[in-house]
Amino acid sequence: MSPVALEKEDHVRDAEFNKAMHGKSAQAEGGFRAMLQKDKAAQNAAVDEYFKHWDNKAAEDETEETRKARRDEYATLTRHYYNLATDLYEYGWGQSFHFCRYAFGESFYQAIARHEHYLAHMMGLRDNMRVLDVGCGVGGPAREIVKFSGVNVVGLNNNNYQIERATRYAEKEGLSHKLSFTKGDFMQMPFPDNSFDAVYAIEATVHAPSLEGIYSEIFRVLKPGGVFGVYEWLMTDNYDNDNPHHREIRLGIEIGDGISNMEKVEVALKAMETAGFVMEHHEDLADRDDPYPWYWPLSGQLKYIASVGDIFTIVRMTKLGRGLVHRFVGALETVGLAPRGTQKTADSLALAADSLVAGGREKLFTPMYLMVGRKPEKA
């Protein structure tokens, strides 16, 4: 039983909005081209719907009511966040929307893929298991995990545009027989009880209004004996909500990343237990003794670039690269070539980047709290 109210779903409304805003842009090559093909009025609506939760709501004035209003509309808030941010993510980061650890001399995309393999390895994923990817983005991790482990994956996503992009990439790679995508709210999944051998979530369940709610729903759809693996976004034990600086970092991450309610590590651990999981492993991977920190591509420490090919990838993510592109899209918006709100979205992603780096440097935040839990045979 979820401890928060669920938002009423309306798949017809969402499909119509997706058609109006994104048109055929899901077929465009690359995020940047897709970004310039949106319907202006629909994008306006998405901007207003998303930013109403954040405009004029500073960290020092934060109340339980403002946080509750975000939690109450968790699904709409997140759906519109990804209506606005997906193309910039793809342009600036690629098709796997998550952070990772870096080994010495490792290229960016190699490190991203290794992080996905590591989760599959820790969960013991095997050929032909039926696996659910909760909050699958445009399917980068799912495609990698299918190739790495031979599993069959169903990607669940609340954003039609991301599903269209994900479906197109899976077809392009000839993986459609192993990989399918379903539209739905992960707090009320459209699957019967006991339907998956394994479930994973990579930096996605932070969009839930309640960790207990989402972990309980995952528990429900897992078969008895099935395994759940997650990389969770959490505030660490060092985070003090009464410290205004800490709170500003947390709110900056929430605004810039479409999160209604980010929690501390202790809340996630308790939620796993309450949901019924037997914990097999939990660890903050950000605390490992790695040569480079997880946030380095956003922090602009170019000295860590490991290959020539990475120069073009990483420069886009740095403050300088971001600044140039954001000014460019701002100019396109001014002359009417990009829709209203493109600049505002870019500014909010820049705030996300700065807050994530600050949270990482000050050890207040982790995007890679690994938990592996099992549903008992007799639940």
Ligand X SMILES: CC(C)=CCC[C@@H](C)[C@H]1CC[C@H]2C3=C(CC[C@]12C)[C@@]1(C)CC[C@H](O)C[C@@H]1CC3
- The binder of ligand X chosen from 97, 109, 231, 239 (CB under 6 A): 97
Nearest-CB residue for ligand X: 92
- 77 near ligand X (CB under 6 A): no
The residue among 140 and 226 lying less far from ligand X, judged by its C-beta, is 140
Neighbour count for residue 10 (Cβ, 10 Å): 12
Do the beta carbons of residue 92 and residue 316 sit within 8 Å? yes
Contact letters for ligand X, residues 207-236 (x by CB under 6 A) = --------------------------x---
The residue among 275 and 352 lying less far from ligand X, judged by its C-beta, is 352
Please tell me the distance from the alpha carbon of residue 215 to that of residue 1, in angstroms, as a whole number: 10
Do the beta carbons of residue 366 and residue 283 sit within 8 Å? no
Cα distances (angstroms) measured from residue 330 to each of 46, 318, 341:
18, 18, 9
Nearest approach, Cβ of residue 69 and ligand X (Å): 20
Contact letters for ligand X, residues 253-292 (x by CB under 6 A) = ----x-----------------------------------
Helix (H, G, I), strand (E, B) or coil at 272: helix
Nearest approach, Cβ of residue 298 and ligand X (Å): 6
- The binder of ligand X chosen from 17, 93, 295, 296 (CB under 6 A): 93
The residue among 286 and 352 lying less far from ligand X, judged by its C-beta, is 352
Nearest approach, Cβ of residue 213 and ligand X (Å): 17
- The binder of ligand X chosen from 349, 368, 370, 371 (CB under 6 A): 349
Nearest approach, Cβ of residue 156 and ligand X (Å): 15
Q: What's the order of all strands across the beta sheet hosting 196-202?
A: 179-183, 152-157, 130-134, 196-202, 222-235, 365-374, 278-284
Angle value at C-alpha 162, between 161 and 168, nearest 5 degrees: 95
Nearest alpha-carbon partner for 100 in 356, 295, 355: 295
Nearest approach, Cβ of residue 119 and ligand X (Å): 15
- The binder of ligand X chosen from 38, 322, 374, 375 (CB under 6 A): 322
Nearest approach, Cβ of residue 174 and ligand X (Å): 26
- 92 near ligand X (CB under 6 A): yes
Q: Are strands 365-374 and 222-235 parallel, antiparallel or unpaired?
A: antiparallel
- The binder of ligand X chosen from 74, 89, 102, 239 (CB under 6 A): 89
Tokens read off for 248: 């500003």
Residue 178 has φ and ψ, to the nearest 5°, of: -110, -5
Angle value at C-alpha 349, between 285 and 203, nearest 5 degrees: 30
Nearest alpha-carbon partner for 333 in 342, 323, 345: 342
For the segment 325-344, give every residue that binds ligand X (CB under 6 A): 325
- 111 near ligand X (CB under 6 A): no
Please tell me the distance from the alpha carbon of residue 93 to that of residue 138, in angstroms, as a whole number: 12
Give the distance from CA 290 to its chain's centroid. 23
- 317 near ligand X (CB under 6 A): yes
Contact letters for ligand X, residues 117-146 (x by CB under 6 A) = ------------------------------
- 203 near ligand X (CB under 6 A): yes
Please tell me the distance from the alpha carbon of residue 105 to that of residue 333, in angstroms, as a whole number: 39
Please tell me the distance from the alpha carbon of residue 95 to that of residue 97, in angstroms, as a whole number: 6
Nearest approach, Cβ of residue 99 and ligand X (Å): 6
Nearest approach, Cβ of residue 177 and ligand X (Å): 28
Task: Summarize as ranges the residues that interact with ligand X (CB under 6 A).
Answer: 88-89, 91-93, 97-98, 203, 206, 233, 257, 316-317, 322, 325, 349, 352-353
